[in-house]
Chain A
Amino acid sequence: MNVKNELKAAMWLEFQIESNWTSPLIFAIYNILKPVGAALVLVAMFYVVVGAWTGNSLAFMYVGNAFYMILAQTLFSIGWIVHDDREHYSTLRYLYISPTPYFRYLVGRSITRYSLSIVPMCVLLLLGLALKIEYRFNLLLLTFALILGFVFIVGTALLISGINLLTARHGGAIGEAFAGIFYLASGVVFPVALLPGWAQQIALVFPTTYWFSIIRIAVLGYESDKFMGGFSVPDLCLYLTTLSFVYFFLAYLLFRFADTLARKLGILDMSTTY
């Protein structure tokens, strides 16, 4: 089997698992309602303080949140795969001994989840018109960001999967919890400039910080975060590209390490539910 077919099979599986539990209509609602709920929390927070339904700060957090949903939903979904394969469907061992590397299987499933998450993001942008958010799209820059976004999001998914190979299944949604790191440190819903100095330096290590800055420029036409405003667009693109690939490579190495360690410890098909 070639790489294309392997990825296709994994993508198909992800789509089946994500969608075949219900009708297409309910699936569409499901896919959209969660991000809308998250956006409404922010809108309400803005309203109780400012007393209005529109403003620049709202545009900042609304757009950041809409694109964060791609990250959060992909990681949420991928964060369950190892535990599901290991303890729910009991297929992890069979996937491991198949000729398709488990890493490639995870990438395939991430492609589907990432693509599915773009739809609710578009719906959110559309709903943003009701909040009088003025969009000035730069489609080239946006496409560039979405492609690079996939690289580091899959990298993070691999990292989480590696950790999951070594840890127990707990109740919560661990992928989403992991996404919280970026939510706080990457200027998603508030400017990085508000973070303490040491936290700003950490923010610069994450590709997401540059990603969200590029997203704002590509969607709103400006960057209102004073800290990130110091970067030119070519610089942002350069940092995003470099960090995304470095990040992916490191995540891949960590996944391989976790994979080897899990087999060494004999815990690849352990059962940990409690």
Chain B
Amino acid sequence: MHADAIKCVNLSRDFRSKGKTVHALKNVNLTVKKGELFGLLGPNGAGKTTLIKILTTLLLPTSGRAYVYGYDVEKEFRKIRPIINMVAGGETSGYGLLTVFENLWMFSQFYGIPNKTATERINSMLARLRIQELAKRKVRALSTGERQKVNIIRGFMTEPLIVFLDEPTLGLDVETARMIRKFVKEWIAENKERTVLLTTHYMMEADELCDRIAIIDRGKIIALDSPAELKKLVKSDVSINLEIKPAIKLDWLSRIDGIVGHTAAHQDGKVKLRLVAKDDAVVGEVVSGIYKENGKIVSLHKDEPTLEDVFLKLTGRGLE
């Protein structure tokens, strides 16, 4: 069997609409090894879902090549489909009038799983995700979190070699998201042959789960390494969190030398500012700038560098 679970070579994908061309992926080169939990981190519209669609045989590349378990996504898609599965966040798959068990059973049939095996797997996974009591409930009566747990079971019950998770915890509560992350970690640890490709724009999720991460922005991979190595990119920098009241203008920040990047979130008449700077020296200048704008600092503290800071440093923008 081939060594690489996924391999992309100069992979590009364009979308054309009304005379305009959008370059969703630009010359992506990527290798994911078997047994890896690989993350694709990037903001909305970065090209993550496009890449997943290509790798799951739903979309063809405009140029370049992509291989899943050594099979070409363009020519050998029939060999890929039995060994993969996918789960997307916010998905409403199946039929609302079927029960959870029936929906899962139906999908198991599309993978040719015998009845007895399908029943055993479904029951065992329902128990594992602590939703056995939902087996006989109609899918249309499920909450968002419950529905996503069912989707997770749908994606994993066929025992694929590679699972593609596209924002699997999107819009979920903390507890459900945590349970899904735990499940994914345990699943991949059970068998060295298993691989997961996860896309997310939650940096904490990528940091917690992934062996390696590719940071993708505007269709290009701009960094690829383990979370620890990626964070080294901002090791010498300083990350500072500020909370300012009221929500003042911050366009002057970009004129200060030494600021690598910043993100600002406006909320309840306040602004939460995160700065990545080359050193502490900029703090004085930032503070006086805030006072000039008649802002008041509610809190200020230094922070450990995160993957978001890496993204900020590489692109000058935040992930959200």
Chain A residues packing against B (C-beta within 8 Å): 168, 270-274
A273 CA / B98 CA spacing, docked (Å):
10
A182 CA / B140 CA spacing, docked (Å): 35
- The reply to whether B140 and A272 form a contact with Cβ atoms under 8 Å apart is yes
Asked if B98 and A270 make an inter-chain contact with CB atoms under 8 angstroms apart, the answer reads: no
Residues of A within 8 A of B92 (CB): 271
List 7 interface pairs A-B (beta carbons < 8 Å), by A numbering.
Answer: A270-B96, A271-B96, A272-B140, A273-B95, A274-B95, A274-B97, A274-B98
List residues 126-147 of chain B with CB under 8 A from any CB of chain A.
139-140
A84 to chain B, nearest CB (A): 15
Expressed in whole angstroms, the Cα–Cα distance for A168 and B140 within the complex equals 12
What's the minimum C-beta distance from A265 to chain B, rounded to whole angstroms? 11
A-B contact count (CB 8 A): 18
Interface residues on B, range: under 10
A270 to B98, CA, bound (A): 12
Closest Cβ–Cβ distance, residue A110 to chain B (whole Å): 28
Binary contact readout B172-211 vs A (1 if CB under 8 angstroms, 0 otherwise): 0000000000000000000000000000000000000000
Closest chain B residue to A273, Cβ basis:
B95
Min C-beta distance of A60 to chain B, whole Å: 45
Report the nearest A residue to B139, measured CB to CB. A271
Binary contact track B77-107/A, C-beta < 8 Å → 1, others 0: 0000000000000001001111000000000
Assuming A270-B96, A270-B140, what are 15 further A-B pairs, CB within 8 angstroms? A168-B97, A271-B92, A271-B95, A271-B96, A271-B97, A271-B139, A271-B140, A272-B97, A272-B140, A273-B95, A273-B96, A273-B97, A274-B95, A274-B97, A274-B98
By a CB distance below 8 angstroms, the chain B residues around A274 are: 95, 97-98
Map CB proximity to A onto B37-57 as digits: 1 under 8 Å, 0 otherwise: 000000000000000000000
Q: How far is the CB of A256 from chain B (nearest CB, A)?
A: 24
Which residues of A sit under 8 angstroms from B96, Cβ to Cβ? Answer: 270-273
Chain A's nearest CB lies how many Å from the CB of B18?
15
Q: A273 to chain B: which residues have CB within 8 Å?
A: 95-97
A272, B95: Cα distance in complex, Å: 7
Tell me which of A270, A271, A272 has the highest count of chain B C-beta atoms within 10 A of its own C-beta. A271
Q: Could you say which residues of chain A place their CB within 8 Å of the CB of B95?
A: 271, 273-274
A271–B98 Cα gap in the complex (Å)?
A: 10
| B98 contact set on A, CB distance < 8 A | 274
> CA separation between A174 and B98, bound complex, in Å?
23
- For A168, the chain B residues whose CB sits under 8 A away are 97
Once the chains are docked, how many angstroms separate the CA of A270 from the CA of B95? 11
A226 to B96, CA, bound (A): 52
Nearest B residue to A274, CB-CB: B95
Residues of A within 8 A of B97 (CB): 168, 271-274
| Chain B min CB distance to A87 (Å) | 8
Docked pose: A273 CA to B140 CA in angstroms: 10
Return A151 CB to nearest CB of chain B, in Å: 36
Instruction: Give the residue name and chain of the A residue nearest to B94 (CB).
Output: A271
A271 to B142, CA, bound (A): 11
Min CB distance B183 to A, Å, is 25
User: Nearest chain-B residue to A168 (Cβ)?
Assistant: B97
Q: Which 4 A-B pairs have the closest CB atoms?
A: A271-B96, A271-B140, A274-B95, A270-B140
Shortest distance between the CB of B173 and any CB in chain A (Å): 20
In whole angstroms, what is the CA distance A274 to B106 when docked? 12
Write out the residue numbers on chain B whose beta carbons fall within 8 Å of the beta carbon of A270. Answer: 96, 140
Q: A123 to chain B: closest CB distance in Å? A: 34
Q: How far is the CA of A271 from the CA of B139 in the complex (A)?
A: 9
Q: How far is the CB of B143 from chain A (nearest CB, A)?
A: 12
